[in-house]
Amino acid sequence: MPTPRSTALAAFQRRFGRAPARLVQAPGRVNLIGEHTDYNDGFVLPCAIDRGTVVAAAPRDDRVVRVVAADLGDGVDEFHLDRPIVPRADATWTHYVRGPVKHLLAHGHALAGADLAVSGDVPQGAGLSSSASLQLAVLQAFKGLGRLDTLAPSRMALLAQEAENRFAGCDCGIMDPLISALGVEGHALLIDCRTLDAQPVPLPAGAAVMIVHSRVRRGLVGSAYNLRRQQCETAARHFGVKALRDLSVPMFEARAIELDPVVRRRARHVLTENDRTVAAARALAAGDLREMGALMAASHDSMRVDFEITVPPVDELVRLLQQVIGDAGGARMTGGGFGGCVVALLPESLVPQARDEVARHYRSPSGEPADVHVCHASNGAGDLPLQDG
């Protein structure tokens, strides 16, 4: 079966008639716990996964950037570095190439033209951060081609966030690009989204990370994601703090009645989710899957009731998985919400039973079975060898 690596290399040769000079990758991610806390300057606990985006790249001797999307029937984009770089309404995938390049230029990085071929295996609209994976891979390619050695991984993450906010129009937080940039094999990262401090937390031996795609597609820009962010900002202004990160649960409860009921629920989710995420990192480091599972269950309930971002098919997947897992781990929705994926942390011995339970009892609203992947925590963005071996 073709891989993103082989697909990108073949597409580059087919489209541009030469071999690439560099091959890079950036992973997608799954968030174990800590949802909608990142743009509130809070804590998240994601891991990079062994699905991502590969870019084959070579420099040009002019100021033109040409891009072929190998997974989209060799769809092509072309733009000039010396002309205004604007979104293309007819091809939204190009936002995640043009945006990072535009913001590299805006921050004074010297770039030359390039040919790029892109391929990936992160399901789009699944909540596994296909957009951040693509942006980080593009940034990694230009970093290598332009010898931008001072472009640190955390800086690339900030550029990707800026591009998605301002160019693609989604008010995402820093988590997705940061874990794609900084992932550590075999570990989750407890990320402080204010300071960008990232503390590796080892995944327990014998634990599996299962990702189950509900086949309910989601689109963050067109969904209520941006509205949720605005509601959180409203709550922070009411309490006179920079972000909800600065508010403790007791401080909130003392004055919660002053808030609009909907805004109150949104803020309560973020505050309690921050506490759960820090506790989850401790549980994971101690190998305590029972406590981790309880925290994941509480997180899902909070997303369902207070933040209102789950949907019935996702709730059903969580219920089916939890029946198999019991108190040996947990399951919850992961990602921005309104569809997408469920993540389960469970003993490897229960994976076959969990797969079977989902296969027998779940169908999406359109009648599709769930898509199940058992993933491994992987390293962040980096170069790949051009030759196998």
CATH number at residue 11: 3.30.230.10
Helical pair 225-238 and 261-285, crossing angle rounded to 10 deg:
100
The CA–CA distances, whole Å, from 297 to 32, 337, 371 equal 11, 16, 21
Q: What is the reported pLDDT for 127?
A: 67
**172 shares its domain with 224:** no
Contact call for residues 209 and 376 (beta carbons, < 8 A): yes
- For the stretch 260-300, pLDDT in tens is 999 999 999 999 999 999 999 999 999 999 999 999 999 99
- Contacts of 22 by beta carbon, 8 Å cutoff, 6+ apart: 56, 57, 58, 141, 144, 145, 383, 386
Region of poorest pLDDT, from 31-40, 215-224, 229-238, 375-384: 215-224
| Pair type for strands 114-120 and 64-69 | parallel
Number of folded domains that form the chain: 2
More reliable by pLDDT, 77 or 222:
77
Alpha-carbon distance of 103 to 107, in angstroms, equals 6
Q: What is the reported pLDDT for 125?
A: 66
Element (H or E) spanning 173, and its range?
none
Q: Which residues pair with 345 in a beta bridge?
A: 209, 330
Question: How large a percentage of the chain has pLDDT more than 70?
Answer: 97
CATH number for 334: 3.30.70.890
Q: Stretch 43-63: mean pLDDT, rounded?
A: 97
Is-catalytic flag, 171?
A: no
- For the stretch 155-177, pLDDT in tens is 999 999 999 999 998 878 899 99
Question: How large a percentage of the chain has pLDDT more than 90?
Answer: 88
Alpha-carbon distance of 23 to 46, in angstroms, equals 25
More reliable by pLDDT, 218 or 276:
276
Q: Stretch 194-219: mean pLDDT, rounded?
A: 92
**203 shares its domain with 298:** yes
**211 shares its domain with 345:** yes
53 occurs within a structural domain: yes
**203 shares its domain with 312:** yes
Domain boundary among 129, 154, 188: 188
Amino acid making up residue 97 = V
What angle is formed at CA 23 by the lines to CA 85 and CA 11, rounded to 5 degrees?
Answer: 75
220 occurs within a structural domain: yes
- For the stretch 238-267, pLDDT in tens is 999 999 999 999 999 999 999 999 999 999
Contact call for residues 335 and 128 (beta carbons, < 8 A): yes
Domain boundary among 132, 156, 188: 188
Q: What is the reported pLDDT for 128?
A: 75
Q: Which residues pair with 213 in a beta bridge?
A: 341, 371
Measured torsion, CA atoms of residues 307, 310, 312, 315, in degrees rounded to the nearest 10: -100
**176 shares its domain with 203:** no
- Contacts of 261 by beta carbon, 8 Å cutoff, 6+ apart: none
Please give the structure tokens belonging to residue 40.
């509130």
Helices (H), 211-369: 225-238, 249-255, 261-285, 289-305, 312-325, 351-361
83 occurs within a structural domain: yes
Three-class SS string for 70-92?
A: HHHCCEEEEEECCCCCCCCCCCH
41 occurs within a structural domain: no
**178 shares its domain with 203:** no
Residue 220 clears pLDDT 60, i.e. is over it = no
77 occurs within a structural domain: yes
Banded pLDDT at 221 (limits 50, 70, 90): very low
Average pLDDT, the chain: 94
**13 shares its domain with 111:** yes
**179 shares its domain with 277:** no
Q: What is the reported pLDDT for 218?
A: 67
Which of the residues 82, 176, 306, 383 is marked catalytic? Answer: 176
Amino acid making up residue 377 = A
- Strand boundaries in the chain, DSSP class E: 22-31, 43-44, 46-59, 64-69, 75-80, 114-120, 187-192, 198-202, 207-213, 330-334, 341-347, 371-375, 382-384
- For the stretch 99-142, pLDDT in tens is 999 999 999 999 999 999 999 998 776 667 889 999 999 999 99
Domain that holds residue 280: 199-375
Residue with tokens 């994941």: 296
Residue 22 clears pLDDT 60, i.e. is over it = yes
**245 shares its domain with 264:** yes
386 occurs within a structural domain: no
**223 shares its domain with 363:** yes
22 occurs within a structural domain: yes
Residue with tokens 């996964």: 49
Alpha-carbon distance of 49 to 30, in angstroms, equals 7
Domain boundary among 160, 188, 216: 188
> C-alpha 128: how far from its chain's center?
5
Please give the structure tokens belonging to residue 52.
């991502």
Alpha-carbon distance of 258 to 328, in angstroms, equals 40
**146 shares its domain with 252:** no
- DSSP 8-state class, residue 377: B
**281 shares its domain with 163:** no
Residue with tokens 């984009």: 77
283 occurs within a structural domain: yes
